[in-house]
Chains A and B, each alone.
Chain A
């Protein structure tokens, strides 16, 4: 068996040049092939090449270079062993050679031979060691196992020797005695190799392949199609003992291989996936910067439960905190179910019929929020009123200026109290719940949040020149309605989804494209603009249906039947009433232009006590500032 060549021949060129030694089978590297100098001879084609020994390089002629060498030297430099060399006065001819390596990076930094000679045959940057790629990780035999093997080997040797000795001396032991002589290896404790060489999730980096981590699966998505149904995938989320999480992705055949093997809540060893950057991590607060892409040769093995690894990684936000999140942010919530709407069928924009269910959750901040469930989650996830539930991975949405949450493919929930107890934030909620559970039904679902009293001037200042369409702000303003724009006061709406419906001449019915429902008569909803004024300025605001009714003091269904004179009367009466409005200001895109829009979300009843408190605080602050 030929020995592996690890170095170019030391001072090969010096030996050829200075000592004219053509007997040594030098190992040299071909750095360049000078194409214009090929020559045809009776023995074949000669190629003029620059060859190196790692310290120096010089021109040599090589006969019949193989096509594989010829095609590749631009990128990788082949290494050859010269089998037959002819040294003439001015040239060095390689008649026969064997290719050792076809694709190696340049060995060392060889100097032109003359320069090398001038430097007294030294080159500080020279090196003749051939570089070989290292394995991604070291396979280490377990030390104990190594010892035990060595012991066994030693034991065997001793036994063999003993037998031999016995044979030589002629004394033979009985079989029993022989067996006693062979002492079994006792009390050998084999340390499970599994927990060795485990990395933490925080130690992973992109491009890494040969790693091993230990973690619990805390999320598992359904198998999801992608690329127009040409492929499918599922994802999991893994948490380790350092409470770090990372997403794992399985595509196509790998998805099929591992989907049934993996269960939520169980602890596994994950080996030999590929670490990649998570392109979507900036959008999702719950996701790490990297992902694990599992491959066919990846190994996932179930192991015993590990108490050091969190079972439930919930980062609970109160419903009040959700006001401070941006649209599409992810969050975890914990609360009690106070309302469950019946499941309905919705026609989506992609003409897909989907189930939809809304439940309302309420927490210790005395706020309620709607959570929308879609598809299989709407159908399969069952909840009851007064049930305490924690959700992980809900997405923040905004519909008709009201904040809500929606489930995603990776959302999970937990209802088991024994599990909920382990979640951070559970105790605060549960104390509140125990004290107030009899009164929850009577508390309103909508926001009771108090915003500091603001002014129209402040709203305008905050939104001047802003085009960031994620900016959403709430303001409480005390103002008068001075003008209600009557051009469009109401619209024909779908009873189900409240969107605009169209009258179809042929069928003489009203059709909702969203729900795919037809109505004989439309439902009327207010949606109009008004101008409000306070001491600092005026503002055009939009009033949706519920607010429109509060302002005009008549339901839209009745209003639209009134005569024009009666309608005008209602409008006149609504003007110049001072109200306290909760306004949501946000940027909307219309005709590719981003503009701020201001919606009145609610009319707040005067709360004298807290108004006075607010006033006191403002006065105190003002006085302190001026003092």
Chain B
């Protein structure tokens, strides 16, 4: 049976341990291709991401939004990703996620 996620919850780096085994969305910067995985910087924390096949060469930072499953070992198994503009405001995004996952979670998620 295929596991079709209903949503990929947006989380910050400090929430990763709580969401192991779940489908999540992470936003960050691609650091380095390590062959089996790529290193993905999310709010100062390096997350190992698998299933990313191509990493184009670029002079600018590659900013991505990656949707995938967080495995028990902490690896993110990427399902989809979207490239973000260089003007993306990470600070504001972090504040919004804290709001969404924090006190007012029930307004945004079941």
A-side interface residues toward B, CB under 8 Å?
608-609, 612-613, 616, 619-620, 623, 627
> Residue on A with the closest CB to B85?
A608
Q: Indicate if B109 sits at the interface (CB-CB under 8 A).
A: no
The answer to whether B92 touches A609 (Cβ under 8 A) is: yes
Does B95 have its Cβ within 8 Å of any Cβ on chain A? Answer: yes
Q: Which 10 A-B pairs have the closest CB atoms?
A: A609-B89, A623-B104, A613-B92, A616-B96, A612-B92, A609-B87, A616-B92, A616-B95, A620-B99, A612-B89
Give the docked Cα–Cα distance between A507 and B104 (Å). 75
Contact A619 B99 (CB under 8 A): yes
* Distance in Å: Cβ of A625 to nearest Cβ of chain B: 12
Measured between alpha carbons, how far is A612 from B92 in the docked complex, in Å?
8
Q: What does the 1/0 interface line of B89-107 toward A look like (CB < 8 Å)?
A: 1001001100100011001
Q: Could you say which residues of chain A place their CB within 8 Å of the CB of B99? A: 616, 619-620, 623
Q: Which B-chain residue is minimally distant from A620 (CB atoms)?
A: B99
For B89, give the chain A residue with the smallest CB separation. Answer: A609
How distant is B23 from chain A, measured CB to nearest CB, in Å? 25
7 extra interface residue pairs, beta carbon distance < 8 Å, beyond A612-B89, A616-B92, A620-B99: A609-B87, A609-B89, A612-B92, A613-B92, A616-B96, A616-B99, A619-B99
Question: Could you give 6 example pairs across A and B, Cβ below 8 Å?
Answer: A609-B89, A609-B92, A613-B92, A616-B95, A616-B99, A627-B103
Please judge, given known A-B contacts A619-B99, A620-B99, whether A613 and B104 are in contact too, CB under 8 Å. no
Chain A residue numbers with a CB within 8 Å of B95 are: 616
* B residues contacting the other copy or chain, number (CB 8 A): 9
| Complex CA–CA separation, A212 to B87 (angstroms) | 65
* Least Cβ–Cβ distance between B18 and chain A, in angstroms: 22
Q: Give the chain A neighbours of B89 by CB distance below 8 A.
A: 609, 612-613
Assembly CA distance A612 to B107 (angstroms)? 19
Contacts of B107 in A (CB 8 A): 623
List B contacts of A627 (CB < 8 A).
Answer: 103
- Alpha-carbon gap, A509 to B89, bound state (A): 58
Q: Taking the nearest CB of chain B, how far is it from the CB of A610, in angstroms? A: 9
B102 to chain A, nearest CB (A): 10
Number of A-B contacts (CB under 8 A): 19
Please, how many angstroms separate the alpha-carbon atoms of A494 and B107 in the complex?
59
B92 contact set on A, CB distance < 8 A: 609, 612-613, 616
Chain B residues with CB under 8 Å of A613's CB are 89, 92
A30 to chain B, nearest CB (A): 92
**Residues of A close to B104: CB separation below 8 A:** 623
B25 smallest CB distance to A (angstroms): 17
Per-residue A-contact encoding for B56-96, CB less than 8 Å = 1, 0 else: 00000000000000000000000000000001010010011
A365 and B96 CA atoms in complex are apart in Å by: 29
Query: Which B residues lie within 8 Å of A619 (CB)?
Result: 99
In the complex, chain B residues whose CB is within 8 Å of the CB of A620: 99
Task: Please measure, in the bound complex, the distance between the C-alpha atom of A620 and the C-alpha atom of B100, giving whole angstroms.
Answer: 10
**What is the CB-to-nearest-CB distance from B109 to chain A, in angstroms, rounded to a whole number?**
15
Task: Find the A residue at minimum CB distance from B100.
Answer: A619
User: What's the nearest-Cβ distance from chain A to residue B82, in Å?
Assistant: 15
Minimum CB–CB distance for A242 against chain B, Å: 48
CA of A609 to CA of B99 in the docked complex: distance in angstroms? 18
CA distance A627 to B99 in the complex (A): 13
The smallest beta-carbon distance between B29 and chain A, in angstroms, is 17
Considering the chains assembled together, what is the distance between the CA atoms of A613 and B92 in angstroms?
7
Chain B nearest CB, measured from A619 CB (Å): 7
Q: CB-nearest residue of chain B relative to A608?
A: B87
> What distance in Å separates the Cβ of A368 from its nearest Cβ neighbour in chain B?
25
| A450 → chain B closest CB, angstroms | 15
Min C-beta distance of A62 to chain B, whole Å: 99
Bound together, the chains give a CA A620 to CA B103 distance in angstroms of: 11
- Bound: A264/B37 CA distance, A: 76
B87 partner residues in chain A, CB cutoff 8 A: 608-609
Q: How far is the CA of A245 from the CA of B39 in the complex (A)?
A: 67
Q: Which residue of A lies closest to B104 (CB)?
A: A623
Instruction: Select from chain B the residue with minimum beta-carbon distance to A609.
Output: B89
A93 vs B31: C-alpha distance in the bound complex, in angstroms?
124
Whole-angstrom CA separation of A613 from B95 in the bound complex: 10
- Complex Cα spacing A569 to B47, Å: 55
Which chain B residues border A623 with CB–CB below 8 Å? 99, 103-104, 107
Interface 1/0 per residue, B39-51 and A, CB below 8 Å: 0000000000000
Residue of B whose beta carbon sits closest to that of A613: B92
Set of chain B residues within 8 Å of A616, measured between Cβ atoms: 92, 95-96, 99
Rounded to whole Å, the gap between the CB of A422 and the closest CB of chain B is: 40
Assembly CA distance A612 to B94 (angstroms) = 13
Alpha-carbon separation in the docked complex, A4 to B108 (Å): 100
Taken together as a complex, chains A and B put the C-alpha atoms of A616 and B95 apart, in Å, by 8
A514 → B minimal CB distance (Å):
46
CA distance A79 to B42 in the complex (A): 103
- Most chain A CB neighbours (cut-off 10 Å) among B87, B104, B107: B104
- Docked CA distance A623–B104 (Å): 8
With a CB–CB cut-off of 8 A, which chain B residues contact A608? 87
Give the residue name and chain of the A residue nearest to B91 (CB). Answer: A613
- In the complex the two chains form, what is the Cα distance from A619 to B97 in whole Å? 13
Q: How far is the CA of A242 from the CA of B26 in the complex (A)?
A: 62
Taking the closest CB of chain B, its distance from the CB of A304, in whole angstroms, is: 58
Q: State A623–B105 Cα separation when bound (angstroms).
A: 12
CB-CB under 8 A from A612, the residues of chain B are 89, 92
**Closest CB-CB distance, A342 to chain B, in whole Å?**
40
When chains A and B are docked, how far (Å) is the Cα of A432 from the Cα of B16?
42
* Cα separation A609 to B104 with both chains bound (whole Å): 23
A613 to B99, CA, bound (A): 13
How far, in whole Å, are A462 and B44 apart by their CA atoms in the complex? 47
Least CB distance, B38 to chain A, in whole angstroms: 27
CA distance A612 to B87 in the complex (A): 12
Task: Please measure, in the bound complex, the distance between the C-alpha atom of A619 and the C-alpha atom of B103, giving whole angstroms.
Answer: 13
Give chain A nearest CB distance to B83 CB in angstroms. 16
Closest chain-B Cβ to A13's Cβ sits at a distance in Å of: 95
Chain A's closest residue to B99 (CB) is A620
